[in-house]
């Protein structure tokens, strides 16, 4: 496997986060998990129903639909408690987050962070270094708590500009 980019674990206290611009993208609970699986397949390039079952059932993640003007642009999961996290188990852990169009990447992440910050005292997730939301998240008050390196045998395994990985749990 080859190193592809750094992944930064971000953490922010919800009450301290400044408003992020979601440019009209909103996050709402997804009505149908099968639709989320289908969206993920378009973004990742393969179907992963077992992974989605893990995120939704074992991790008790809330599947979210990302929409602009009632048109879906992506999806996300928000795990509202993180009991396996050594630090900040009360944090909402966001993972994965995917959008079809790179132009919606930063807005999609901002919408998911805002959704989670209204419901949990802290928000955390692992963001690829090349992701366009990184600067705005740091300016909004999130902090880098850990740095990892994403490794892959395939140089195009996923697009770090459109997809936030599921972090350390798949």
Rounded to an integer, what distance in angstroms lies between the CA atom of residue 83 and that of residue 61?
13
Give the structural domain span for 11: 2-164
Contacts of 38 (CB under 8 A, 6+ apart): none
Residue 150 lies in a domain: yes
Positive/negative CA dihedral, 20, 80, 88, 96:
negative
Interval 79-123: pLDDT, tens: 998 767 777 788 999 999 999 999 999 999 999 999 999 999 999
Count helices and strands (H / E) in the chain. Answer: 4, 8
Q: Are 8 and 127 in contact (CB under 8 A)?
A: yes
CB-side neighbour CA atoms (13 Å) of 96: 28
Assigned domain for 169 exists: no
**How many separate domains does the chain show?**
1
The model carries a pTM of: 0.93
Q: What is the CATH number of the domain that holds 159?
A: 3.40.630.30
CA 124 remoteness from chain centre: 9
User: pLDDT grade, residue 170 (50/70/90)?
Assistant: very low
What whole-number distance in Å separates Cα of residue 170 and Cα of residue 161? 19
């Amino acid at each position: 496997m080859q190193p592809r980019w750094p992944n930064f674990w971000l953490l922010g206290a919800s009450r301290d986060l400044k408003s992020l611009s979601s440019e009209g993208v909103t996050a709402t609970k997804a009505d149908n998990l099968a639709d989320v699986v289908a969206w993920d397949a378009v973004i990742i390039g393969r179907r992963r129903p077992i992974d989605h079952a893990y995120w939704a059932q074992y991790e008790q993640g809330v599947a979210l639909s990302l929409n602009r003007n009632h048109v879906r642009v992506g999806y996300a999961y928000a795990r509202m408690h993180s009991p396996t996290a050594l630090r900040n188990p009360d944090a909402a852990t966001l993972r994965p987050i995917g959008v079809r169009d790179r132009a919606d990447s930063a807005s999609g992440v901002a919408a998911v962070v805002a959704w989670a910050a209204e419901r949990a005292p802290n928000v955390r997730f692992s963001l690829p270094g090349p992701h366009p939301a990184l600067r705005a998240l740091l300016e909004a008050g999130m902090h880098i708590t850990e740095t990892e390196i994403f490794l892959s045998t395939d140089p195009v395994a996923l697009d770090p500009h459109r997809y936030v990985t599921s972090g350390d749990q798949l």
